[in-house]
Amino acid sequence: MVNCGKNPSASMRHRRRLHGQRGAAVFIVVMVLTLLTAVGVFAVRSASLADVAAGYDREASQASLIAQYATVAGAAYLASPAGNTIVTNIHNATPYCQSNMGVTKACFKLYSAPIEASTLSSGNEDLFETSSSSLNANGKTVADFDIELTDPFQSGSLGVGNPTSPVQITVTAIAQVQQAGACASPGNQTWNAGQQMVRSYISAGNQ
């Protein structure tokens, strides 16, 4: 009997070859899609990290400006009668101060609350803007500062020990910017805070 059709073995080889080509094409398509997905995920992650880094940079800049602001506000407060009392008795104040690095030396911690009260009484102004601002955008961030007064010594042309000589003081302002309500939930450790320190020297009061 004469077989007028195609060679069965050749036909089978042809089908196997086509099947192998289709398998290779599917593999290449899957690899390309996987690569594109990885590139997309990396791009999204990079954009997210860039936003986070920009937020940290903004937070650090705000904290630095607040520390400088605290230095000026603290110097103005020390020029008031209440501040003169602090300057007069600073040699006897020895609480723990971060700027003293654990060494027991004369130090007075000045918090923002009395400066806030003095600002309200003298100029009817808040120490920080309470409405929405670049600092407190949409009410999501808060700022505060502490001032540490250390290393007092009498200075001036009249010489050391002269009762009319002003006192030079090292002023260390420690400012912090953090999420609003972060301190209200101590169990939540997901928030972060930006902190900056500024050190300056002032002469204040008479002793």
**For position 131, what pLDDT does the model report?**
61
- Please report the pLDDT score of residue 158 as a whole number: 43
Helix (H) or strand (E) holding 73: helix 8-78
- At residue 184, the pLDDT reads 52
Q: What is the pLDDT of residue 207?
A: 44
Pairwise CA distance, residues 148 & 138, whole Å: 31
For residue 156, the model assigns a pLDDT of 55
One digit per residue, pLDDT tens: the chain, 207 residues? 555 555 556 666 656 665 656 667 777 888 888 888 888 888 888 888 887 777 788 888 888 889 999 999 888 888 888 887 887 777 777 777 877 776 777 888 888 888 888 888 877 777 776 665 666 655 677 888 999 888 887 665 444 455 556 778 888 999 988 777 655 555 555 566 788 888 888 887 654
Q: Strands 107-111, 141-154: parallel, antiparallel or unpaired by DSSP?
A: antiparallel
What pLDDT is recorded for position 124? 78
CA angle, 134 then 139 then 143, to 5°:
65
CB–CB of 166/156 below 8 Å?
yes
Which value, in Å, is the radius of gyration of the alpha carbons in the chain? 34
